Chain A
Amino acid sequence: MITDRGEVPKGSAEIFFRKVKFWKGDEAEEAPPVFNVDGVNYIHVKVAGLLFVATTRVNISPSLVLELLQRIARVIKDYLGILNEDSLRKNFVLVYELLDEVIDFGYPQTTSTEVLKSYVFNEPIVVDSARIPPLGPAAMFMQGAKRMPGTAVTKSVVANEPGGRKRDEIFVDIIEKISVTFSSSGYILTSEVDGTIQMKSYLSGNPEIRLALNEDLSIGRSGGNSMYDYKSSAGGGIVILDDCNFHESVHLDNFDLDRTLTLVPPDGEFSVMNYRMTQEFKPPFRINALVEEAGSHKAEVIIKIRADFSTSVTANTVTVQMPVPKYTTRVSFELESGAIGQTTDFKENNKRLEWCLNKIVGGSEHTLRAKLTFSQESHGNLTKEAGPVNMNFTIPMYNASRLQVKYLQIAKKSKTYNPYRWVRYVTQANSYVARL
């Protein structure tokens, strides 16, 4: 919690915590990130299960504070390698030191890991990362905070490798969150890709790098007033982004010409570019769901999922959820024969079916049948009582927008200098919904 000027009463941490935990008592509503209690504004972000809070009495720009908190979390992560309760506890003196340099008397000073390196002297106590999958090209992306997937890189920017020498490498992750809503007839109502190119650099000497994207990439949907004018995308493989924004360090001098970004990557993790696309794309999964009455107190649900992507790609940690009528008392599931790595569950308290699949290989199709038993007779329209089907998944080495990093060029210091560069793609569901 950041309270820099002693204007805020003691015990504000307590007040905050209680408020967040019990926002609006009975209704299961989440506390908004910004709220006011007795003239004190509490502004918080949640990163890796930790709450970062700032308090102020001033009518400040909320975006400024939220961005700052997010950045502080990132700086701490850059330093500690892993951000969690344990690492924070072990390194609180370092965290104090960082905060001291980041904010002075309530005014943000610098949040650049790069600059901070020259002011901050404590060395991080690196916590055991045994539970986190090993580093490397095949390493999975970290799960967790859904909207902001971090990279698998858990190396501190300052701590030395156990082996002694630092390894020169750079990670570029193209992370896309996709939102698709299918109508009951399977027609796509809305679709959007929110992508980000994240970079984490461990290159010594901060060389300049060039990042080339698809040459035919175009930005802004020219002509046609509607954002949802799909005609333009009918032919060819042109990637049309609605809009994008860039990190401070990115030079766009050649961007209009050949779609290359030039930058001197600062230390630590940052987003090179964020982009948004509403151009139509092929959704990775087709969902087919059906609810049918089967007797006076019974109904049957059939959910079919087809993976519409190449067989060389595998989606993992797939979950499919569907709310069922409130008066459902029992559900019996029936998986297809020979199903491996699939589990089903009926969440009694929020009346929801849950179907988890560890893996879905491209091109395959999976079906779930569920028999529902009701405590009362259903009145008529079951589709108004159940659904929609909601899906969550992660697909590594797949990207929906077809935006690509064609090459990653690092300004060479010498002939032998050839750092590792990892370019990885991953697609995640943000809101993937099929209506009944």
Chain B
Amino acid sequence: MAPPPTSQQKSPSPSQPSGKSEVTDLKLQLRQLAGSCAPGADDSRRELFKKVISFMTVGVDVSAAFSEMVMCSATSDVVLKKMCYLYVCNYARSNPDLALLTINFLQKDCRDQDPMIRGLALRSLCSLRVANLVEYLVSPLTSGLRDSSSYVRMVAAIGVLKLYHISSSTCLDSDFPAMLKTFMLNDPDAQVVANCLSSLQEIWSLEAGNSEEVSREREALLSKQVVYYLLNRIREFNEWAQCLVLELASKYIPSDNNEIFDIMNLLEDRLQHANSAVVLATIKVFLYLTMSMTDVHQQVYERIKAPLLTLVSSGSTEQSHAVLGHLHLLVMRAPMLFSSDYKHFYCQYSEPSYVKKLKLEMLTAIANESNTYEIVTELCEYVASVDIPISRESIRAIGKIALQQYDVNAIVDRLLQFLEMEKDYVTAETLVLVKDLLRKYPQWSHDCIAVVGNISSKNVQEPKGKAALIWMLGEYSNDMLDAPYILEGLVENWEEEHAPEVRLHLLTAAMKCFFKRPPEAQKALGAALAAGLADSNQDVRDRALFYYRLLQSDVSVAERVVNPPKQAVSVFADTQSNEIKDRIFDEFNSLSVLYQKPAYMFTDKEHRGPFEFAEELGSLSLGASTEETVMPVQSYEANDNDLLLSTSEKEDSGGPINNDSAYSAPNYDAPTPLVSLVDTKVQSEADLLDLVLPTTTPSKVSSAFDDLLGLGAPSLPAPTLKLNPKAVLDPSGFQRKWGQLTTSLSKEFSVNPQGVAALVVPQSLLRHMQGHSIQCIASGGQPPNLKFFFFAQTDGESSPHPFFLVECLINTSSAKAQIKIKAEDPSLSEPFSALFQSALSALSPF
């Protein structure tokens, strides 16, 4: 057991005497009392022991008194014994020779009449952690496991694990795991069962990979027999052991839906538990079990909402933080389901910043047509708050909501009002946002520029805000009368602008302004280039030099490069990839959720928990969840079924019955863990760069290459349909359309073996299809079953340009693909299907 109990532990300071004389003194007194049977001797011994332990606690080395302590411990007084055990365990490891002294009396105590003493002695014996003493552990542990007292058995079950950590071979050779397993399945005492389970889980997960037998044993823990046995006894366990069992149950893979409902009904009342750990563990079971049943999964979300909110508001700040973190994760996965609960995520006056930040993120996520007005109004209150970090976050939140394109009109007005508040940080944050908004909604430029033009650059101190302002000056120089002169003023103060970010923007803005209003901006540009060329920052200097050379070689080219007509940005890249988000979901009810990072980012391998290993495998495949890696065969089969089941079910219930539910669409943030979103990053990144060359897009290049190499579907007639290589559709748009449209065509066909081979890396398909102007929006699954969602848009003079949406299931073992097409113009689905099929058949690993 661990030493220092609290935070007030003192480290020995140099001024404090090392305690040497005191220790000698204590030794003397102990020796005097050692054999004494005088009345009150135990009391004096207790006092002395307490002193020794208090020295130990504050860090004074009292190991010198070891033999005296051992001598004194030959007593029947339990309090004394306990203190002595505490002392012995603390020093045994560093003094293995002395530890040998204690073996004798510990072994004797293991045979004491009093079960308390037997248990204590056994626990201490196992806690010595001295390798050369393991031989003395085996027989007390063996009899401990068979003891008539449950207390001793409880201690022995954990004792086995301690032995394993001292000497795994001794533990395994003595066949302890098998004994643990027997007791786990038979012991009448629930805590003994729980301890056996803890020990077994840890031992087998550390041993896994060493032999097949171990792997089988490990799998057996997740067998129906074991899981059902434990679940049926769940009420006997205390709340901590319940968590252990529930965690195990969340890994269990039921064979059919009835099993799922049985388990959920059995555990239903656990959601009403006051202990948040029990509730979260139960929720994990519910979420994982229903992963393949869209409707039920959604019901689970509805069911767990109220208990989670209650846990957030009862209990300590710390506990509610942990629950809120999980609620945050769920809200982010299915924001629509929480959109009517937005008031619960309003910040409260006294909450710590880390709670408020989570709430702001949730408010941002759940904002939709129905609640945006209220949410933004509330956020505006926080902007005026005295808590500056929260004020900043609130502005960013409002901006994000605006970028999600609900009710932009009103939001832009409010943002512009912030600029009138004349608070430095508010102005800076708002400018950054206005800039992003303009990049997405150029149509707002008129209103924004009118307000932004009134802002004096002197009132903007923060580099980010300043850079945003300068960007707008360059971009909208035509609309802002004195833009060239403001820029000129800023360039003159070049030396005072320390941030390279600002200087870079100044250079670009001066260039842009120059192309728009050459005579007025010439001076500013000249000064900026001169200053830039002399700049000490590498990037600034390089950019100045680049502009300079461009201008030298050809001004019109320079204009085309630096100042091309902008395309509005449709989606800003998400900061966190969906693969990461899925992994965090796979690690529900763990620290990963609070850190918002998967475990591999903050733990070393051996500490990832009893059932998580094989990370290398996991990180390669798309959204491979840990359970699959644990039990490959079984889980793949299960996934097989689920995937097929869910498709057929979808087809059955697809039509009008489900159409009103927001979830009938193959939702990226809902059910199947197997589906992970693929970012439309490629395009957006390109748009983010101001200086990108407007030449042929990579996709065109690659499709040209494909044709050159003659891979473009030789056996099929060339399709007449033309697709837009740069079609853009955001996930929510996809979802909406998928929900609205009915399937216009479904088909099954074979994929050539080469293509199947290429699917070892599913990403290759995404890139390949992109080359054929078919974009992937979501993908997932486990070999042999892979699932993809694609979209494409027609191209050509005649507008409108209808979209095609495709769900594509590929079974790599049977080399079959199943596609389901939903088209905005159903008459085109036949030619599109041909195009899609030819594109798919052209897939090869090269």
B57: Cβ under 8 A from any A Cβ: yes
Is A227 part of the contact surface with B, judged by Cβ < 8 Å?
yes
**How many whole Å from B317's CB to the nearest CB in chain A?**
6
Which residues in chain B, 319-350, are within 8 Å of chain A measured between CB atoms? 319, 321-323, 325-326, 340-341, 343-344, 346, 348-350
Judging by beta carbons under 8 Å apart, are A62 and B602 in contact? no
CA–CA, A301 and B702, complex, Å: 69
Question: Which residue among A70, A146, A243 has the maximum number of chain B CB atoms within 10 Å of its CB?
Answer: A243
Closest to A94 in B: B79
Asked if B186 is at the interface (CB within 8 A of a chain A CB), the reply is no
Q: Does B558 contact A (CB under 8 A)?
A: no
Query: Which residue of chain B has its CB nearest to the CB of A103?
Result: B1
- B146-197 interface (Cβ within 8 A of A): 151, 154-155, 158, 161-162, 191, 194-195
| Chain B residue nearest in CB terms to A242 | B306
Q: Which B299-317 residues sit within 8 Å CB-CB of chain A?
A: 306-307, 309-311, 313-317
B322 contacts A66, C-beta separation under 8 Å: yes
Q: Is A433's CB under 8 angstroms from B275's CB?
A: no
Chain A proximity of B305: nearest CB distance (Å): 9
Minimal Cβ-Cβ distance residue in B for A435 = B381
CB atoms of B86 and A63 under 8 A apart? no
0/1 interface trace, chain A 60-92, chain B, CB 8 Å (1 if under): 111110111110000000000000010011001
B560 at the interface (CB under 8 A from A): no
Asked if A60 and B590 sit within 8 Å, CB to CB, the answer is yes
Residues of B within 8 A of A271 (CB): 274, 314
A33 to B317, Cβ gap below 8 A?
yes
Contact A32 B354 (CB under 8 A): yes
B602 touches A107 (CB 8 A): no
The answer to whether B7 touches A17 (Cβ under 8 A) is yes
Looking at the assembled complex, report how far the CB atom of A104 sits from the nearest CB atom of chain B, in whole angstroms: 5
A424 lies within 8 A of chain B by Cβ = no
Cβ contact within 8 Å between B161 and A64: no
In contact, A61 and B306 (Cβ under 8 angstroms):
no
Residues of B within 8 A of A390 (CB): 349-350
Interface of chain B residues 594 through 646 with chain A (CB within 8 A):
594-595, 599, 602-604, 607-609, 612
On whether the beta carbons of A1 and B594 are closer than 8 Å, the reply is no
Q: Which residues of A contact B389 (CB under 8 A)?
A: 27, 29
A275, B243: Cβ atoms under 8 Å? Answer: no
A432 CA to B603 CA, complexed, in Å: 41
Is there an interface contact between A248 and B343, defined as CB atoms closer than 8 Å? no
A58 lies within 8 A of B86 (CB): no
| B381, A88: Cβ atoms closer than 8 Å | no
* A51 and B191 form a contact (CB under 8 A): no
Q: Which of A372-407 contact B (CB under 8 A)?
A: 379-381, 384-385, 387-388, 390
Q: Is A36 an interface residue (CB 8 A)?
A: yes
Contact A4 B421 (CB under 8 A): no
Sort chain B's interface into a size bin.
35 or more
Q: What residues of chain B lie closer than 8 Å to A384, measured between beta carbons?
A: 384, 421
> Measured between alpha carbons, how far is A17 from B318 in the docked complex, in Å?
17
* Binding-face segment, B276-284, B407-415, B517-525: B276-284
A418 at interface by CB-CB < 8 Å: no
Report yes or no: B589 in contact with A63, Cβ–Cβ below 8 A: yes
Assess the B4–A13 pair: CB atoms within 8 A. Answer: yes
User: Given A64-B240, A147-B316, A227-B343, are A245 and B273 also a contact pair (CB < 8 Å)?
Assistant: yes
Chain A residue at smallest Cβ distance from B54: A92
CB contacts (< 8 Å) of B2 on chain A: these are 1-4, 99
Q: Which of A40-48, A160-168, A337-345, A409-417 is found at the contact surface with chain B?
A: A40-48
Cα of A196 to Cα of B340 in the assembled complex, Å: 26
- Check A232 for interface membership: any CB of B closer than 8 A: no
Query: How far, in whole Å, are A46 and B319 apart by their CA atoms in the complex?
Result: 11
Q: How far is the CA of A235 from the CA of B2 in the complex (A)?
A: 58
Quick check: is A30 within 8 A (CB to CB) of the other chain? yes
Chain A residue nearest in CB terms to B241: A108
A121 adjacent to chain B (CB < 8 Å): yes
The residue from A34, A89, A145, A278 contacting B594, defined by CB atoms under 8 A apart: A34
B281 & A61 in contact (Cβ 8 Å cutoff): yes
Contacting residues, chain A, for B238 (C-beta < 8 A): 110-112, 248
Answer yes or no: A225 CB below 8 A from chain B CBs: yes
| Complex alpha-carbon distance, A388 and B608, angstroms | 45
Query: Which residue of chain B is the closest to A55 with respect to CB atoms?
Result: B2
A430 in the interface, Cβ–Cβ < 8 Å?
yes
Is B53's CB within 8 Å of the partner chain A?
Answer: yes
CA distance A401 to B107 in the complex (A): 60
* B53 close to A93 (CB less than 8 A): yes
A contact patch SS: mixed
Of all chain B residues, which has the CB nearest A192? Answer: B313
* Residue B11 at the chain A interface, CB threshold 8 Å: yes
Q: Beta-carbon contacts of B346-377 to A below 8 Å, as 1s and 0s?
A: 10111111100000000000000000000000
A296 CB contacts on chain B under 8 angstroms: none
A339–B777 Cα distance when bound, in Å, is: 68
B86 touches A190 (CB 8 A): no
**B592 close to A (CB within 8 Å):** yes
Contact residues in A for B161 (Cβ distance below 8 Å): 105
B501 interfacial by beta-carbon distance below 8 Å: no
A83 CB to closest chain B CB, in angstroms?
Answer: 11
Contact B5 A246 (CB under 8 A): no
If the complex has contacts A51-B7, A105-B158, A271-B274, are A59 and B348 also in contact, measured as CB distance less than 8 A?
Answer: no
Taking a contact as CB atoms closer than 8 A, the residue among B50, B321, B603 that contacts A59 in the complex is B603
**A420 adjacent to chain B (CB < 8 Å):** no
Q: Are A121 and B78 in contact (CB under 8 A)?
A: yes
CB within 8 Å of A: which B376-399 residues = 378, 381, 384, 386, 389
- Cα–Cα, bound, A226→B384 (Å): 28
Residues of A within 8 A of B280 (CB): 61, 63
Interface pair A275/B590, CB less than 8 Å apart: no
- Judging by beta carbons under 8 Å apart, are B422 and A63 in contact? no
Q: Which residue of B lies closest to A16 (CB)?
A: B7
Contacts of B421 in A (CB 8 A): 381, 384
Q: Which residues from A are CB-within-8-Å of B420?
A: 380
A22 within 8 A of B: no
Is B273 in contact with A179, judged by CB distance below 8 angstroms? no
Q: Any chain A CB within 8 A of the CB of B729?
A: no
Q: Is A280 an interface residue (CB 8 A)?
A: no
Min distance, Cβ A193 to any Cβ of chain B, angstroms = 9
Report the minimal beta-carbon distance from A278 to chain B, rounded to whole angstroms: 8
- B603:A13 contact, CB within 8 angstroms: no
Given contacts A1-B9, A93-B50, A276-B310, contact A30 B353 (CB under 8 A): yes
Nearest residue, chain A, Cβ from B380: A384
Question: Within the complex, what minimum Cβ distance (angstroms) separates B84 from chain A?
Answer: 11
Contact B604 A39 (CB under 8 A): yes
B111 within 8 A of A: no
Interface residues of B in 1-48 (CB under 8 A from A): 1-2, 4-9, 11
Residues of B within 8 A of A50 (CB): 6-8
- Closest CB pairs A-B (n = 8): A431-B348, A108-B240, A33-B318, A274-B314, A243-B306, A64-B277, A57-B607, A63-B277
Task: Add 9 more A-B contacts to A245-B307, A248-B273 (CB < 8 A).
Answer: A1-B5, A36-B595, A60-B591, A109-B195, A121-B78, A189-B378, A243-B306, A271-B314, A381-B421
B: residues with CB less than 8 A from A are 1-2, 4-9, 11, 49-50, 53-54, 57, 78-79, 82-83, 86, 116, 123, 129, 151, 154-155, 158, 161-162, 191, 194-195, 198, 238-240, 243, 247, 272-277, 279-281, 306-307, 309-311, 313-319, 321-323, 325-326, 340-341, 343-344, 346, 348-354, 378, 381, 384, 386, 389, 420-422, 587, 589-595, 599, 602-604, 607-609, 612
30 A–B contacts from the bound complex (CB under 8 Å):
A34-B321, A46-B317, A53-B7, A59-B587, A60-B591, A60-B609, A62-B591, A63-B280, A63-B323, A64-B240, A66-B316, A70-B315, A70-B319, A93-B50, A93-B53, A100-B1, A100-B123, A104-B155, A107-B158, A108-B240, A109-B195, A112-B238, A121-B78, A148-B316, A242-B310, A243-B307, A246-B273, A247-B274, A276-B309, A387-B384
